[in-house]
Chain A
Amino acid sequence: MKNNLLLHGLWILAAILSFAIGAKFFPANQGVDVAGPVGEVGKSGLADRGEKGEAVEGALGATPAGKPVGDNGQSGALQPLLRKLSGGDIEILGEQFRKGTNPIERRMAFTALLAGLTAENALQVRKQIEHMDHRSAEFREFHYAWGAVGGAEAVMFGADTEEDDMSPALTGWASADPEAALAWFNNLDMENNAGFDALLKDRKIPAAGLTGHLMRGLVQGLADANPDTASRFVQDMVASGHEGAEGMIHIVAGAVMRSDSPAEAALWSEGLPEGKMRDMAMHRMAGHFARSDPEAAASWAENFSREPSSAGVIGEVGHNWATRDAQAAVDWLDSLPAGNGQNIGMHRAMNQWAERDPTAASEYLSTMAASDSKDAAVRGFSSRLAWENPQAAMSWAESIGSDEQRKNAIIGVGRAWSKRDADGAAEWMVASGVSEDVQQAILNPPKRDDNGRQRR
């Protein structure tokens, strides 16, 4: 009798354990990808289309074959779809993408195409999106996804097309397999590779320009995979003398800013090796951080107030804080140790304050003791005021203590005045008795090139 009870008890316990194990470790549907995009499109359009709907249903039930997106270790969005799109499915989804009656349907169809993308069907999928502008998100994302599954083949496909598809493909490849993409790039010998003839010989694109273009794509992909790998690569390029390579740290910074909080992004930039690249990254992060939380950004920036190369960080925080609360920004700047950082910060903050509330800004200036920082503040203030009230701005500029700062401020205000009211500025020049070289500097401002940069 006792044995019987024990037996029943053990079986009941086993049943309960089975339930628990099933619930905990073997959830139903696990491993089925988002029937998501494909299923959704079917719901919204394809399933209602009779014979076309059948084709999709059949395809959705098929077993995986070929190399699905993500086979190369990519996680997340490029996980395998576990269903292979047939040629018919691709055509139907493409039709839906091009002619869907609303933007949501078109979007879902596109996502379904991406989710079912393999190295084998990529060309057929590309036909469905080739009508898109090559700058569009869809065009670029397709090539990104193709690069992730197709690697070099996807990148080199772009060598024979008019559109810019090599760079996004390389980005996708580098995001999925950084080592392979890096090795490919480092071993590039475009001049001796017939694959590049269409670009270098027919379209006469300079090899250096193409290398730079591809490098930007590579850096973006490396940054998507791991910003530290990307910044190390940029650093190597800078060390090897690649022109303009420092600027590519902005691409990495952009990726960090997207994924991390502003405070974390700022810390990331601080951790870069000292040099121009780090300065550029910190400068960028300072603005981003200050727009989000100026007080916290100020606490972070204070650490660099004595570093001459990081003065731009103080300036960026001062400027962005002043757009919200100019008084608080200049109070903070005033509390910093004297130096280039404080001066740049004062210049930018007062420039901003002059735009928002010139009266309050001028009252504050009146209370400042003579100092380099006051000179910088007056210069920032007068350069903005010049566009509203050039006479008053000039009076302020003339009050600057430092000879050099005063001269530069007078030239700046004079130029703005000349643009706004040439006759009035000319009258002032005659009456003021400013030196000939200052008058010439006002009348002959440096020309700007096509990009708006001052020519030297």
Chain B
Amino acid sequence: MQNKRVIHCSYFLLTTAMFVVGSQFAEPPSTGAVLPEKEKLSPLVKASPIQKISALAGAEKPMTSPRRNDSSAVQSDDGSPLSLSLLVEKWNGKGLRFEDFAPEKGPLSEGQIEELVLASIKSSDPVERRRAFDRILQEMRQDSFTVEQAMTIRKVMHNNKASGEQWRTFDYAWGANDPEAAVAYIDQISERYRNGYTSNMLPGLASVEPQTAIDLVAGMEGDVRRRMTGRLIEGLADNDIGVATEYVFGLAENEDPHTTEHMRKLAREVVDNEGLEGGLSWAENLEEGRLQGAALWQVANEFTNEDPEAASQWAEQFVGQDQNARLFGEVVREWDDREAAEAWVASLEPSQGQRDALSAVFGFKGANQPHEAVQEIIEMPASQDRDFAINGFISGLAAQDGESAVIWAAEISEPSMRQAAMIRAGRHFFRQDQKAAMDWFAASDLPEASLSQMAGVKVD
């Protein structure tokens, strides 16, 4: 009797244990796809990222391992063969069961990836679209994430016309989570998409492997290099503001012609990442000089947009520092309350910054109240202030009346400023009335070479 009880109890325990074990082995019920065990994935998984990408993109023998969801072998636009069961399909409405895709259940299968990507593009519910795509991004952070999975995501995104924002996010995430594979893919992707892909992926790469990203950009040339440098700076700032700052100062040392632009880009990133206070503190503590001027110029923009009064008070500490003069104009340009901006400029002590601000005041007036501006300029005595006022005025006026703008530009007394202003206004004039502009140019004392700058024609 005692024995029988022990036997029954043992069997009961065994049965209960089997139930628990069974539930642990359960598959996600929705997709019908088998969760791929890592060792059962295609042999390509063991290969290096470069080999894997080459193979998946068709450069080597395409993968041959049988897969559950293979329904048809498809040749995609860029020639890479990949078997996908869902290419361009109808999305069956809301109702993705996110619990079926929980990370605890293991790596996402191909079918699950397809379902998630499809939902992220086609669901009618924007929150569902976001969550589905986030689950993909989450998967990319797992150690188990493979190049095969990345390629599946790319294919489904491509075939279902994922948005530019989704591409930017995916490429960034790939660069950040699998730098080697993401860099290798640059050589595999079709030329048509190469720059776009690199531009998206680069900041992600730079956020985790700054030096790799810097080296990559160093190998580029011309305008592509200039654009990619901007993207690189974004990623470096995501990694470490100090590294990014050092990089931009290095560009200046190497006489990169676009350092002002790059410094302003970095300043925007710093404010985005660190907030306005962090951005102000960072810019104020940079080494004095042209680059600090560019950084302050940009943070002045952000500051004025947030609180113009406070920004104007902050700016006053830089009165008398010629290298920082442009931030004064920026405060004026971004200040919504024109009267307050003008009153502030009038209160500034004479300096390069004050003149830059005055120029910005007249730039606004040239575009919006040209008659009032003309009257004020006429009443001004010949002076540096007047030159700056005219210089700003024609910037605002030229887009609507290039002919008047070139006449006013000739009124500037300082020769180099006058010539630059005439050329700037002349560009608009040539676009508006080429024949009249040619007549004006012939009668002006501008050098022959300036014609190409204004008319966009080559001068022999």
List A residues at the B interface (Cβ < 8 Å): 7-8, 11-12, 14-16, 18-24, 26-37, 39-40, 43-44, 74-79, 98-99, 101-104, 107-108, 111, 114-115, 137, 140-141, 144-145, 148, 175, 223-225, 255, 258-261, 264
Contacts and interface: CB of A to CB of B under 8 A. Distances in A.
B14 A223 contact: no
A167 B134 CA distance: 25
Given A15-B14, A75-B95, A35 B125 contact: no
Interface residues of B, number: 63
B19 interface: yes
B24 A28 contact: yes
B26 A101 contact: no
A255 B90 contact: no
25 contacts: A11-B14, A15-B11, A18-B16, A21-B22, A22-B20, A24-B22, A30-B26, A34-B98, A34-B102, A36-B102, A37-B131, A40-B138, A75-B94, A76-B95, A76-B96, A77-B94, A77-B123, A99-B274, A102-B176, A104-B176, A114-B130, A140-B126, A255-B124, A259-B123, A261-B88
Nearest to B16: A18
B426 to A, nearest CB: 22
Contact of B131 (A19, A22, A77, A175): A77
Nearest to A81: B98
Contacts of B132: 77
Nearest to B8: A11
Contacts of A23: 22-23, 25-27
Interface string B108-140: 000000000000011111111111101101100
Contacts of B129: 77
B19 A19 contact: yes
Contacts of B20: 22
Contacts of B27: 23, 27
A99 B105 CA distance: 31
B103 interface: yes
Contacts, number: 190
B103 A36 contact: yes
Nearest to A220: B124
Contacts of A224: 124-125
A264 B90 contact: yes
A148 B121 CA distance: 20
Contacts of A35: 102-104
Contacts of A258: 91, 121-122, 124
B101 interface: yes
Interface of B: 7-8, 11, 14-16, 18-29, 88-91, 93-99, 101-105, 121-132, 134-135, 137-138, 141, 165, 169, 172-173, 176, 204, 207, 238-239, 273-275
Nearest to B278: A99
A8 to B, nearest CB: 8
Given A11-B15, A75-B94, A28 B23 contact: yes
Contacts of B91: 258-260
A258 B128 CA distance: 14
Contact of B134 (A21, A32, A36): A36
Contacts of A99: 273-275
A291 B165 CA distance: 22
Given A34-B103, A108-B134, 15 more contacts: A19-B21, A22-B19, A26-B19, A28-B23, A36-B102, A36-B103, A75-B95, A77-B132, A101-B207, A103-B238, A108-B137, A145-B127, A148-B127, A258-B91, A264-B90
